[in-house]
Amino acid sequence: RFLQCRGPFAKRRHPLVDSTVVSEIRRCLEEGIEFQGELLNFRKDGSPLMNRLRLTPIYGEDDTITHVIGIQFFTEANIDLGPVPGYSVKESSKLADKFRSGFSTYRPIPVGDRNVSRGICGILQLSDEVLSLKILSRLTPRDIASIGSVCRQLYELTKNEDLWRMVCQNAWGSETTRALETVPGAKRLGWGRLARELTTLEAATWRKLTVGGSVEPSRCNFSACAVGNRVVLFGGEGVNMQPMNDTFVLDLNSSNPEWQHVHVSSPPPGRWGHTLSCVNGSHLVVFGGCGRQGLLNDVFILDLDAKPPTWREISGLAPPLPRSWHSSCTLDGTKLIVSGGCADSGVLLSDTFLLDLSMEKPIWREIPVSWTPPSRLGHTLSVYGGRKILMFGGLAKSGPLRFRSSDVFTMDLSEEEPCWRCVTGSGMPGAGNPSGIAPPPRLDHVAVSLPGGRILIFGGSVAGLHSASQLYLLDPTDEKPTWRILNVPGRPPRFAWGHSTCVVGGTRAIVLGGQTGEEWMLSELHELSLGSSTT
């Protein structure tokens, strides 16, 4: 590729470049004949050069052109063209360096039905800017890593941080990318390495932390959620099954993190067995649980950054049945999804409801499906692939009995008529048993949604001698989803419960406390770091 365009982002050949000579070069290459001539070119800084060029085809034994030898001599062209339009020379150099590798490429030369210069890819005739912005940025992180081994030009392109950020954003979504930007040390680590570590999980590690402050009175069965790099704890079950309604915050950005009681106005009724979710950046939403008067189906929202923070009730029309130990997740940062749980008299539920909190007057909407998974409590809902949700585990109903489950179900909410699909599970008709070792059946476990759609499972109530800290990984986007065990070094927790674990910044799972009998030590945390930037 000859530098016939002046300036790093020029889209057309400079008018002083002789188009007749360019056409003659193309004709000679296509017909396999020798070319000699001169052509005006430009350096990357825009200064003109006169290029004396000779091209000679080389034939193989079967009369096929296998190579073209090119000899060129550059001499300074005494032409005053002024500055590069729109940029100073210094500015244009900076912009060009952003996506330019500095390596020349050749155009493949068709000769009739023959292909001259075999093995040279025509895509390399494109500018580095077009390759980066229009093509490479649309690939997955794993693909970019592979492309970097093809040739030196692509290797140089794939070292660019701006390209890696675009790749991560297109593959993982803007919301995930913004969350990763808040991770301590992410900028120092760089997008390329961060993408590699979150894809391979090679840097995953456990560590134990000790924090200050206290959560008093002591409690269990509370709910925890992350808002940015802050961990929020609400409610719980105190002494003699006393429902709690206070709020505590742990700021992990602090040099010495400590639990702080947040004084809020109009707190919801005390409860345990509820869910706490984050929406709209800094807003927390509480749903359901078991209160002093029984089961609840109310919704309260708190803006943690408001002065002062105030809980307000959302009177959503047509609410679901009151319940506890249900599962919830958020979609698009504004929608709350609630599934299953335990209703009055211990009846297990199998319904799924959606509440759009961006509406002025939110209305609960049950998602109509022709078939539902068996009723259950203590399961998890995880969002992946934009608008898909994955259900795993729980205590599920099977006839008159209840068993811990290891079933996996998915639903795509972008479809006109969403439906549950059984991905894996031993007890379901038509369900596949994937290769690999599936996690033992469990409830009240932890499910972590990783960038790219994979789901990480650990902890919970597991029968027998199975370790609750063993990690299991599943990619529901695979044609044949396969469970695999992820062995992680460090100091894992002895127990990990879904209601007391939250994901911070998309790269850290914070497990609160260590349980010894009925005592909760909330000054002790265990952190599962998925990237070395978080350690």
pLDDT in tens, 298-340: 999 999 999 899 999 998 889 999 999 999 999 988 999 999 9
Specify the pLDDT at position 12: 66
Among 434, 332, 338, 340, residue whose Cα is nearest residue 393: 340
81 vs 243, which has greater pLDDT? 243
Of 24-33, 101-110, 212-221, which one has max mean pLDDT? 212-221
Mean pLDDT of 287-302: 96
pLDDT band at 281 (very low <50, low <70, confident <90, very high): confident
- Angle at the Cα of 460 (from 457 to 463), degrees rounded to 5? 110
What's the average model confidence in pLDDT over 193-201? 90
Q: How confident is the model at residue 429 (pLDDT cuts 50, 70, 90)?
A: very low
Average pLDDT value for the chain: 84
Q: Which of 34-38, 74-78, 168-172, 505-509 has the lowest mean pLDDT?
A: 74-78
Name the packing angle between helices 89-99 and 161-172 (round to 10°).
Answer: 50
Going by C-alpha positions, the residue among 421, 380, 374 that lies closest to residue 400 is 374
**Distance in angstroms (rounded) separating the CA atoms of residues 139 and 162:** 14
Mean pLDDT over 363-382 rounds to 96
Q: How many CB atoms lie within 10 A of CB 119?
A: 7
pLDDT on residue 311: 95
Per-residue pLDDT at 398 exceeds 70: yes
CA–CA distances in Å: residue 81 to residues 94, 279, 434: 20, 56, 66
CATH fold match for the domains 1-120 and 211-487? no
Q: How high is the pLDDT of residue 99?
A: 44
Of 323 and 93, the structure prediction assigns the larger pLDDT to 323
Query: What is the pTM for the complete model shown?
Result: 0.74
Is the backbone peptide bond immediately before 308 cis, with ω within 30 degrees of 0? yes
Band the pLDDT of 418: cuts 50, 70, 90.
very high
77-86, 106-115, 450-459, 480-489: the lowest-pLDDT one:
106-115
- Rounded-to-integer distance, Cα 198 and Cα 191, Å: 10
Report the chain's C-alpha Rg in angstroms.
30
Domain ranges in the chain?
Answer: 1-120, 126-196, 211-487
Q: pLDDT tens, 505-530?
A: 888 999 997 554 344 778 889 999 99
Question: For position 98, what pLDDT does the model report?
Answer: 46
Does the structure show a pLDDT above 90 at 381?
yes
pLDDT at residue 10, as a whole number: 57
Question: Is residue 108's pLDDT more than 50?
Answer: no
The whole-number average pLDDT for the span 378-394 is 95
Q: What percentage of the chain carries pLDDT values higher than 70?
A: 85
Task: Answer yes or no: is pLDDT of 182 > 50.
Answer: yes
For domain 1-120, the question of CATH label 3.30.9.10 is answered with no
Give the model confidence (pLDDT) of 5-58 as tens digits. Answer: 555 555 566 777 777 788 888 888 888 888 888 888 877 777 788 888 889 888
Superfamily, domain 211-487: Kelch-type beta propeller (2.120.10.80)
Q: Provide the 3-class DSSP secondary structure of residue 73.
A: strand
Quick one: 513 exposed, middle or buried, by C-beta within 10 A (0-12, 13-18, 19+)?
buried
**Given this model, what pLDDT does residue 80 score?**
66
